[in-house]
């Protein structure tokens, strides 16, 4: 089983930070042990998969402005 197969298909939701122009849209979905992130406009293009602890750390770093977005 691949990591992205652990994500419940019904949990995908578009980020509230996605823009209306649809050129910077991401979706987040979850499973029991993992969280996935994918491009809304290219859902088959790949999924970043994090375990829950790493997801919390990544999200905290994004919120803190540690990445050039």
5-64 pLDDT, tens digit per residue, is 789 989 999 887 776 666 678 899 998 899 999 998 888 898 999 999 999 999 999 889
Distance, in Å, from the CA atom of 10 to the CA atom of 19, rounded to the nearest integer, reads: 22
> Does residue 51 lie in a domain region?
yes
> Does residue 55 lie in a domain region?
yes
* Total domain count, the chain: 1
In the predicted model, is pLDDT for residue 1 greater than 60?
no
DSSP 3-state assignment of 15?
coil
Residues 32 and 8: beta-carbon distance below 8 Å: no
User: Can you give the residue range of the structural domain that contains 51?
Assistant: 3-63
> Does residue 69 lie in a domain region?
no
> Does residue 50 lie in a domain region?
yes
pLDDT for res 55: 94
pTM of the model: 0.76
């Amino acid at each position: 089983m691949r990591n992205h197969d652990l994500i419940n298909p019904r949990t995908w939701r578009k980020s509230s930070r996605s823009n209306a122009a649809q050129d910077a849209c991401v979706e987040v979905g979850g499973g029991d042990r993992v969280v996935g992130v994918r491009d809304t406009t290219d859902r088959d293009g790949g999924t970043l998969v994090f375990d829950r602890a790493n997801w919390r750390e990544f999200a905290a770093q994004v919120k803190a402005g540690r990445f050039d977005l």
